[in-house]
Amino acid sequence: MARKLPRKDVVIVGLGWTGAILAHELTESGLDVVAIERGPWRDTATDFNIGYVSDELRYAVRRDLFLQPAQETLTMRNTTSQTALPMRDFGSFLPGTGVGGAGVHWNGHTWRFYPSDFNLKSHLTERYGAARLADLQIQDWGVSYDEMESAYDRFEYLCGISGKAGNIGNKIQPGGNPFEGPRKRDYPLPPMEMTYAPTLFAEAARSLGLHPFPTPSANLSKAYVNPLGIAMGQCTMCGFCERFGCANYSKSSAQTTVLPVLMRKSNFEARCNSEVLHVNLDATGKMARGVTYVDGNGEEWEQPADMVLLCAYGLHNARLMMLSKIGKIYDPQTGEGTVGRNYAYQTNAGVQLFFDDKNFNPFVAAGALGQTVDDFNGDTFDHAALDFVGGAGINCIPTNGRPIGFRPTPPGTPRWGSAWKKATRDNYLKAFGFSSQGSSYAARGNYLDLDPTYKDRFGRPLMRMTFDFPDNDIRMSHWVSDRMEEIAKALKPRQYVQARRNKSWNSVPYQSTHNTGGAIMGADPKTSAVNKFLQSWDVPNVFVIGASAFPQNAGKNPTGTVGALAFWAADAIRNQYLRNPGPLVQA
């Protein structure tokens, strides 16, 4: 039996990116907040220490900071006709654990979505007709870019994002992304100093009439003091960024932007190594009473609270809702049910270039240091004559030269022996790649539910992921790969090698930890799990914050939008819900 603890105003499940922001915002309103985090406490000096942080085997290969599948995993299959089997090791995506969540070891590409991404269904229907979307389950978000603008701005200033605005108040800014939605002001910091490969990439793209610009990065181009008064350092381009914590306080994360202030507040408490099992509902099933969790000693506790915020990462948000019976689980046959609906991912492809006469020093790199071409992303280009919707950012962002993972050799090179060694030595400094990060549009058969067979360490069903790339997205990716090939040719390498995206989605090679959907936002409770303020339609004192809210994914990394949604939801709670607790939108 769980032992009952004293009541709190708010319990937050997960102390990662969104949990930290919500905790800070709601404690500012004077609420008594506890965050329950299943992983360990982590901080820069103790856990991302410069003396040992640059350890590729430990962090990048054995993935020391990540969620271990023994603690929680998922089952996966590509279609409903297959039997899902557990991901015994994570591969394609790598969920985080511990304080800071996946924000500890992300790269830091920090994007805003386009205005047309938010009203995607209306926008595309109007421009291309409904028939174009027939195979997809695209939806509007229920919130507009204009409503989100100031929330984006707050996240970017919290983080110290380094970039160049492309559109300030509808005035196009030279050197930035000319396609972006209007912003009120520029980024807090200028772009990072460019390395060689992205510089050449940008020159080649410009020669083709494209519009490259510096990728907005959460690796800081300069020292910075954020609006909470927290100081951060300049990124040293150490090349141990993605999958690593930053030893320099240069990568935006809960640790470097929120926690130093949050942890000093008397109305906040963080409880680590404590895994929330489920949200407890009252007898009507329409109000949450708090959560039950298991602490590091295996003891069960009940934490009563007036509000529950799920900030557990999109996938885990969806599973916690299923296990807690909040809302109805989606059924792909009938199309009914909302929890698990519209799971989407990211449709990526790449190209590798080999040169004879250039030295790229691949180890001089940071997680988000590079150049992006967005001429073929979202709906920045006319799809009228094309056979797909969506698009991809083309990114030249060489993140590292760590040699267990980065040893480019041309196709046909043996994998071992003296010939392998020579090719490895000859190409290590002379190759680079760039990639397309494509939209992933929802389809009826791509969804999350509970697995009928496999259980977690507490004997509860694992979540089951059923996903393959929709034909639309494959066509999109191939078309963008053709555009990438044009850029590759303009770079005049000795040789280039394309890695095109084809079916089926493979759970083994890493692709991206950009899992979206499962508890999507929208205007209609029949087709969305949460309203436009991320409040559960079914249990209004539960808010569900994360990329779980995306109705489909854009051709951009999610966290700029996830962070903005965190501020957006916090505002709704502080300014509306607290005054009048109850549904903020009438169903």
Ligand X SMILES: Cc1cc2nc3c(=O)[nH]c(=O)nc-3n(C[C@H](O)[C@H](O)[C@H](O)COP(=O)(O)OP(=O)(O)OC[C@H]3O[C@@H](n4cnc5c(N)ncnc54)[C@H](O)[C@@H]3O)c2cc1C
What distance in Å separates the CA atoms of residue 289 and residue 282, rounded to the nearest whole number? 6
Q: Between β-strands 347-354 and 431-438, what pairing exists: parallel, antiparallel or unpaired?
A: antiparallel
- The answer to whether residue 514 is catalytic is yes
Residue 340 interaction partner, one of ligand SF4, another protein, ligand X, none, beta carbon < 5-8 Å per kind: none
Ranges within 261-300 binding another protein (CB under 8 A):
none
Residue 182 interaction partner, one of ligand SF4, another protein, ligand X, none, beta carbon < 5-8 Å per kind: none
Q: Is the CB of residue 517 less than 8 Å from the CB of residue 552?
A: yes
Q: Binding residue for another protein (CB under 8 A) from 12, 26, 210, 237?
A: 237
For residue 416, give the DSSP letter: S
Q: Is the CB of residue 378 less than 8 Å from the CB of residue 446?
A: no
Q: How far is the CB of 39 from ligand X (least distance, A)?
A: 4
User: Quick one: which segment of 18-26, 296-304, 423-431, 555-563 binds another protein (CB under 8 A)?
Assistant: 423-431
What distance in Å separates the CA atoms of residue 542 and residue 28, rounded to the nearest whole number? 19
Residue 76 interaction partner, one of ligand X, ligand SF4, another protein, none, beta carbon < 5-8 Å per kind: another protein
What distance in Å separates the CA atoms of residue 349 and residue 435, rounded to the nearest whole number? 6
Q: Which residue is nearest to ligand X (CB)?
A: 16
User: Can residue 88 be called a binding residue for another protein (CB under 8 A)?
Assistant: yes
The contact set with ligand X (CB under 6 A) reads 13-19, 36-39, 94, 96-98, 101-103, 105-109, 242-243, 275-276, 311-314, 316, 320, 368, 513, 546-547, 557-560, 562
**DSSP-derived secondary structure for 213-250:** EEPPBSB-SS-EE-TTS-EE-----BS--TTS--TTS-
What distance in Å separates the CA atoms of residue 441 and residue 439, rounded to the nearest whole number? 6
Q: What is the dihedral of CA 103, 111, 345, 514, to 10 degrees?
A: -10
Residue 109 interaction partner, one of ligand X, another protein, ligand SF4, none, beta carbon < 5-8 Å per kind: ligand X
Q: Is the CB of residue 477 less than 8 Å from the CB of residue 500?
A: yes
Residue 251 interaction partner, one of another protein, ligand SF4, ligand X, none, beta carbon < 5-8 Å per kind: ligand SF4
Q: Binding residue for another protein (CB under 8 A) from 170, 382, 404, 411?
A: 404
Residue 153: HSE in the Cβ half-sphere, 13 Å Cα cutoff: 14
Ranges within 213-232 binding ligand SF4 (CB under 6 A):
219
Residue 421 interaction partner, one of ligand X, ligand SF4, another protein, none, beta carbon < 5-8 Å per kind: another protein
- Residues 105, 211, 316, 514: which is the catalytic one? 514
Residue 219 interaction partner, one of another protein, ligand X, ligand SF4, none, beta carbon < 5-8 Å per kind: ligand SF4
Total of residues contacting ligand SF4 (CB under 6 A): 14
The runs of H, that is alpha helices, within 129-248 are 145-159, 196-207
Q: Is the CB of residue 373 less than 8 Å from the CB of residue 393?
A: yes
Question: Of the two residues 35 and 220, which places its CB atom closer to ligand SF4 in the complex?
Answer: 220
Question: Of the two residues 357 and 382, which places its CB atom closer to another protein in the complex?
Answer: 357
AA letter at 485: E
What distance in Å separates the CA atoms of residue 315 and residue 340, rounded to the nearest whole number? 9
What distance in Å separates the CA atoms of residue 497 and residue 563, rounded to the nearest whole number? 36
Q: How far is the CB of 94 from ligand X (least distance, A)?
A: 5
Tokens of 285: 């099933």
Question: Of the two residues 45 and 57, which places its CB atom closer to another protein in the complex?
Answer: 57
Q: How far is the CB of 362 from ligand SF4 (least distance, A)?
A: 13
Tally Cβ neighbours within 10 Å of residue 227: 11
Q: Which of 305, 371, 345, 382 is nearest to 501 (CA)?
A: 345
Q: How far is the CB of 515 from another protein (least distance, A)?
A: 16
Q: Is the CB of residue 286 less than 8 Å from the CB of residue 305?
A: no
Residue 68 interaction partner, one of ligand X, another protein, ligand SF4, none, beta carbon < 5-8 Å per kind: another protein
Question: Of the two residues 540 and 563, which places its CB atom closer to ligand SF4 in the complex?
Answer: 563
Interacting residues of 482 by C-beta distance below 8 A, sequence separation 6+: none
User: Can residue 144 be called a binding residue for another protein (CB under 8 A)?
Assistant: no
Q: Which residue has the tokens 């997809």?
A: 136
Q: Binding residue for another protein (CB under 8 A) from 56, 153, 156, 449?
A: 56
User: Can residue 240 be called a binding residue for ligand SF4 (CB under 6 A)?
Assistant: yes
Tokens of 218: 């959460």
User: Quick one: which segment of 79-87, 163-171, 248-256, 335-343 binds ligand SF4 (CB under 6 A)?
Assistant: 248-256
Residue 250 interaction partner, one of ligand X, ligand SF4, another protein, none, beta carbon < 5-8 Å per kind: ligand SF4
Q: Is the CB of residue 534 less than 8 Å from the CB of residue 544?
A: yes
Question: Of the two residues 508 and 587, which places its CB atom closer to another protein in the complex?
Answer: 508
Q: Which of 24, 567, 99, 566 is nearest to 261 (CA)?
A: 24
Residue 423: HSE in the Cβ half-sphere, 13 Å Cα cutoff: 15
What distance in Å separates the CA atoms of residue 479 and residue 53, rounded to the nearest whole number? 40
User: Can residue 236 be called a binding residue for ligand SF4 (CB under 6 A)?
Assistant: yes
Question: Of the two residues 400 and 559, which places its CB atom closer to another protein in the complex?
Answer: 400
Question: Of the two residues 70 and 131, which places its CB atom closer to another protein in the complex?
Answer: 70
Q: Which of 511, 156, 197 is nearest to 345 (CA)?
A: 511
Q: Is the CB of residue 494 less than 8 Å from the CB of residue 354?
A: yes
Catalytic residues, by residue number, are: 514
| Binding footprint of ligand SF4 on the chain (CB under 6 A) | 219, 235-238, 240-241, 244, 246, 248, 250-251, 366-367
| Binding footprint of another protein on the chain (CB under 8 A) | 50-57, 61-62, 68-70, 73, 76-78, 82-83, 85-89, 91, 193-196, 199, 234, 236-240, 247-248, 358-361, 363-364, 401-404, 407, 415-418, 421-422, 424-425, 428-429, 453-455, 504-508
